[in-house]
Structure 1
Amino acid sequence: ILLTMGLLSTLVGGWAGLNQTQTRKIMAYSSIAHLGWMATILTLAPNIMLLNLSLYIMMTLPTFITLMLSSSKTIKDLTTMWTISPTMPTMMLILLMSMAGLPPLTGFMPKWLILQEMISHNLTTMATAMAMSALLSLFFYLRLSYTTALTLPPTTTQNKMKWRLTPKQNTITLSIMLILSTMLLPTTPT
């Protein structure tokens, strides 16, 4: 039952997140999808679930801090993130791609371990469905990343935008969390 609920959770989180424009709702549906991955592996290998949970927290925390510092409520608000800090869109891009589970980043490791464990328990069909449902989440992470790092807000008047505002808070903590959340791939257990 837990395996089926986990699969349904990843599907619901992926499908429901596709049509959202508010960043909080997108992150909520992302959390639902990630919890589906954790629920699926809980019965097979609880230690992998704990690893997945800790890495998810380390990836989500800097993402929410970045959204908070940039005051981004909608996807459209992400286009002005570069005015706060020119490096913030790049950090957000890396964090989102890590949460999506793309290979060179840390978020790839837990998904790979979960799929490997499912295949070793002869759950190949479910592993394939989980991998396909991850593509739904990848789509809205790509949408957020594209808006954050590759677009500028549209204007109809010629005005000068502030290139950089004074940071409201020190971003050293955010930088450390970014490094931890993206560079832990070499620590993959064997």
Structure 2
Amino acid sequence: MSPYVFIIIAFSLGLGTTLTFASSHWLLAWMGLEINTLAVIPLMARQHHPRAIEATTKYFLAQATAAAMILFASMSNAWMSGQWEISHISHPLASATVTMGLALKIGLAPVHFWLPEVIQGVTLNTGLVLSTWQKLAPFALILQVAHNTHPYLLTTLALFSALIGGWGGLNQTQLRKILAYSSIAHLGWMILVAQMAPQMTLLALMLYITMTSAMFLTLNKVGSTKIATLALAWSKAPALSTLACLTLLSLGGLPPLTGFMPKWLILQELVSQGFPTTAVIIALAALLSLFYYLRITYVMTMTLFPQASHILASWRTPMTKRPTLLLCTTTMAAICLLPLTPSVIALLN
């Protein structure tokens, strides 16, 4: 891709997200979401492969449907209440419609069907953008309308996402699909406390972006898109494979890694607010996700490629590129931030 085209696309992605962040009017927020969608489509379709074109088409149709729902809900709210402000979406029907539109934007269950197929059809770098940057603008809107949304709707979306995100990744062999279902499960944790503790949702979102970025960049560095090919990762980069296993366990929420922090704080908030049953259900759903993280970790550390030998074989391609600064930073942040939990709690309070 030409560097000029890449600069234009990156500028458009930043402009769309910033416009949505800064807007208090529904039309401006909708415009920012559309700029984001149109900017990422050239990145998805640049492979000139039928699977990439199929993923781009599915992404465009899903995002267009979500944008139409958001625009319809905002126009209905303006018609019934005379308000175009994002924080003044007061009618129950408009609030539920815009929440479902934003859920479709980010891939919450039960409107998640496009997300695994789309991420499977694009490159790892583009999948990283879809899993991280493209979540920021819709989440800004979700946090602004959460106080006007029925709590049962948010809880239902959250529990469905956590359960389907864990259940759907169990029988997958494609790493991009597994990371897509991991995204769905983590989004459920974030949405669950969006109404009662929005600052905790932001914390979970930032840590999820950090951990997922580290995982996508690691897979891109070792050149693996299937679980079976991860048996080669140890011979290519032993240190990077070890850190990748720790990052996977952090995504699963195991202590003493960073991913334990948001899950622990969210469960504590749910119990303190009087929702112990919801906390138990979503904690059990996290065990489903932990299973396929452990499965990937087992393949990376305790299995070898068939006919493995101690000599440099033709299939054992050495790594020619060293890990980048972004990969090193995100990996360390995904593993080592748990000791900062008391400071984070003090900031949240």
Q: d(CA) in 1 for partners of 2:154 and 2:312?
A: 51
Q: d(CA) in 1 for partners of 2:249 and 2:291?
A: 10
Q: Does 1:160 align with 2:311?
A: yes
| 3-state SS, counterpart of residue 105 of structure 1 | coil
Could you tell me which of 255, 258, 264 is aligned with 1:112? 264
Q: Does 1:80 align with 2:219?
A: no
Q: d(CA) in 1 for partners of 2:296 and 2:310?
A: 26
Q: Which residue of 2 aligns with 1:178?
A: 331
Say whether the 8 Å CA contact 1:69–1:168 is kept in structure 2. Answer: no
- Larger RCO: 1 or 2 (CA < 8 Å, sep 6+): 1
Deviation per CA, 1:141-183: give whole Å up to 9, x if none. 000011012210122x868345x75433231422222111111
Q: d(CA) in 2 for partners of 1:101 and 1:74?
A: 23
Q: Which residue of 2 aligns with 1:71?
A: 223
| 3-state SS, counterpart of residue 134 of structure 1 | helix
Spell out the pairing of 1:36-47 with structure 2 (5 A cutoff): 36-47=188-199
The amino acid of 1:75's aligned partner reads: I
Higher alpha-carbon Rg: 2
CA root-mean-square deviation: 1.8
Could you tell me which of 26, 32, 52 is aligned with 2:178? 26
Say whether the 8 Å CA contact 1:100–1:138 is kept in structure 2. Answer: yes
Q: d(CA) in 2 for partners of 1:158 and 1:70?
A: 19
Say whether the 8 Å CA contact 1:59–1:98 is kept in structure 2. Answer: yes
Q: Which residue of 2 aligns with 1:137?
A: 289
Q: d(CA) in 2 for partners of 1:107 and 1:184?
A: 9
Could you tell me which of 119, 127, 139 is aligned with 2:279? 127
Q: Which residue of 2 aligns with 1:92?
A: 244
The amino acid of 1:181's aligned partner reads: A
Q: d(CA) in 2 for partners of 1:66 and 1:106?
A: 17
Q: d(CA) in 2 for partners of 1:148 and 1:159?
A: 17
| TM-score normalised by structure 1 residue count | 0.94
The amino acid of 2:290's aligned partner reads: L
The amino acid of 1:12's aligned partner reads: I
| 3-state SS, counterpart of residue 169 of structure 2 | helix
Say whether the 8 Å CA contact 1:18–1:139 is kept in structure 2. Answer: yes
Q: Which has the higher helix share?
A: 2
The amino acid of 1:180's aligned partner reads: A
Q: d(CA) in 2 for partners of 1:75 and 1:97?
A: 16
Q: d(CA) in 2 for partners of 1:168 and 1:57?
A: 27
Segments of 4+ moved more than 4 angstroms: none
Q: d(CA) in 1 for partners of 2:331 and 2:165?
A: 24
Q: d(CA) in 2 for partners of 1:41 and 1:166?
A: 45
Q: d(CA) in 2 for partners of 1:58 and 1:182?
A: 10
Q: d(CA) in 2 for partners of 1:51 and 1:116?
A: 14
Count of residues in Structure 1 that have an aligned counterpart in Structure 2: 189
